[in-house]
Amino acid sequence: MIPERQTPPLDRRAIFLDRDGVINRPLIRAGKPYPPETLDEFEILPGVRKACHLLKSLGFLLVVATNQPDVGRGTLTREAVETIHTWLLQKLPIDRVMTCFHGGADYGDPCECRKPLPGMLFQAAEELKINLAKSFMVGDRWRDVDCGLNAGCKTIFIDWGYNEPLKREPHFRAHDLLAAAQLIGQLETGTQARD
């Protein structure tokens, strides 16, 4: 008799991080954020390194989940995005970068991974054995909040005051990634009231 293969339990926890506006400074045009197109334009925001190290010390995996639709729309090369991600993995203790390169349904390039759909989070959960209910999604746009909610994660919204309203309420709000990491630390130690 062949023993049944057991699947490892989904007991790992992760912080899913949007990239632009959470990790790096976005380029703002007409009140809306846009991604940097080159490594020269890519600037890690203050406090991000400290936040990442704090989250890792709490036992979380760090997974970037980013929409990069300009690739699918033909205005940015995949190589440019991957160059930025390679550099980012060298600078921060990130475990995985999940990227949706699709242009979106409005551009004839629909998919299951473009936020607010939870495809990237589901894929990371399967590959890394992550328990989504014990994980967080941190983002600065409505797509990030909705993606986290759609995946069953707790959500933290970083409000930069973009000209773009939320569609659903996040669990928590923070003014930057370091404040979000400190909030998660408080939740972990029970010093913050849980909702």
Within 10 angstroms of residue 8's Cβ, the number of other Cβ atoms is 7
What sign for the dihedral angle of Cα 102, 106, 107, 111? Answer: positive
| 179 φ/ψ angles, rounded to the nearest 5 degrees | -65, -35
Structure-token pair, residue 36: 């940097």
Q: Which residues are catalytic?
A: 18, 20
Tally helices (H) and strands (E) across the chain.
Answer: 6, 8
Rounded-to-integer distance, Cα 117 and Cα 111, Å: 9
Q: DSSP of 57-70, one letter per residue? A: HTT-EEEEEEE-HH
Identity of the amino acid at 19: R
Q: DSSP of 85-132, one letter per residue? A: HHHHHHHS--SEEEEE---BGGGTB--SSSTTS-HHHHHHHHHHTB-G
